[in-house]
């Protein structure tokens, strides 16, 4: 199957079955999303959603978080992965946000990456979800599913290489949604250790299924 056809079928399937995919992180404004995404690194959205209400109640905006100590923030996020580092990142992020951007969430990758705890993936999530920009955040699910479906070549061995492979073939208007499609498919169907190929409706053009299962 030609790569163009593979992408066409991928987009066609999800456009029909999941026309309005959304992040599973709970948030009510861009600041809360930024905090949640920083916390979600190597941690489940479910866990973040469990601890974020109390965190947001105590620190409802960047100004209050910037005035906090990392030790206090730690008490709210102790159950997430790497809580010490993340507590420091959150306070540093909030302080930079206040000092450089007046508390407003930046709208470019370059500016977002000046915030402590924000890398390329996190910046792309913010741009995609908050600003509906055609950016592709590549996490472990996107990386895995893209290779299994044959959307990214095996030679794309880094997140950036996978990002470029996807961006080269997915029309801009579909990119923000495609990010969620790949994540959700990887989270619930195309699992890392035991993919649910038997119920996957993409198996007809899945390279992994063709080589390993069938």
CA angle centred on 56, ends 83 and 34, rounded to 5°? 70
Is 121 among the catalytic positions?
A: yes
Q: Kindly state the helix (H) or strand (E) to which residue 38 belongs, with its residue range.
A: helix 30-39
Phi-psi region of 132 (alpha: psi -120 to 50; beta: other; left: phi over 0): left
Tokens standing for residue 46? 């479910």
* Residue from 169, 116, 213 nearest 3 by CA: 169
Residue 36: name the closest of 9, 59, 12 by CA. 59
Among candidate residues 45, 86, 139, 177, the one labeled active-site is: 139
Residue 114 makes CB contacts below 8 A (sequence gap 6+) with 96, 100, 106
Specify whether 139 is catalytic.
Answer: yes
**Annotated binding residue 190:** yes
> Any known ligand binding at 43?
no
Q: Is 206 annotated as a binding residue?
A: yes
Whose tokens are 């908050």? That residue is 130
Q: Which of 3, 121, 164, 207 is catalytic?
A: 121
Q: Which residues are catalytic?
A: 121, 139
* Binding site members: 190, 197, 200, 206
* Binding site members for [4Fe-4S] cluster: 190, 197, 200, 206
């Amino acid at each position: 199957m030609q790569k163009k056809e593979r992408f066409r079928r991928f987009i066609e399937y999800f456009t029909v079955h999941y026309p309005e995919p959304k992040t599973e992180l709970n948030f009510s404004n861009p600041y809360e999303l930024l905090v949640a995404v920083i916390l979600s690194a190597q941690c489940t959205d479910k866990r973040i959603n469990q601890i974020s209400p109390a965190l947001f109640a105590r620190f409802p905006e960047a100004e209050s978080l910037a005035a906090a100590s990392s030790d206090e923030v730690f008490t709210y996020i102790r159950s997430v992965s790497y809580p010490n580092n993340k507590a420091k990142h959150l306070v540093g992020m909030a302080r930079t946000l206040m000092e450089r951007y007046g508390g407003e969430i930046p709208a470019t990758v370059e500016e977002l990456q000046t915030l402590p705890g924000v890398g390329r993936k996190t910046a792309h999530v913010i741009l995609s979800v908050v600003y509906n920009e055609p950016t592709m955040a590549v996490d472990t699910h996107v990386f895995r599913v893209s290779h299994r479906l044959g959307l990214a070549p095996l030679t794309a061995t880094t997140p950036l290489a996978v990002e470029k492979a996807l961006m080269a073939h997915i029309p801009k208007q579909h990119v923000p949604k495609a990010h969620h499609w790949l994540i959700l498919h990887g989270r619930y169907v195309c699992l890392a250790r035991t993919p649910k190929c038997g119920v996957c409706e993409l198996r007809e053009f899945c390279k992994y299924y063709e080589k390993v299962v069938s």
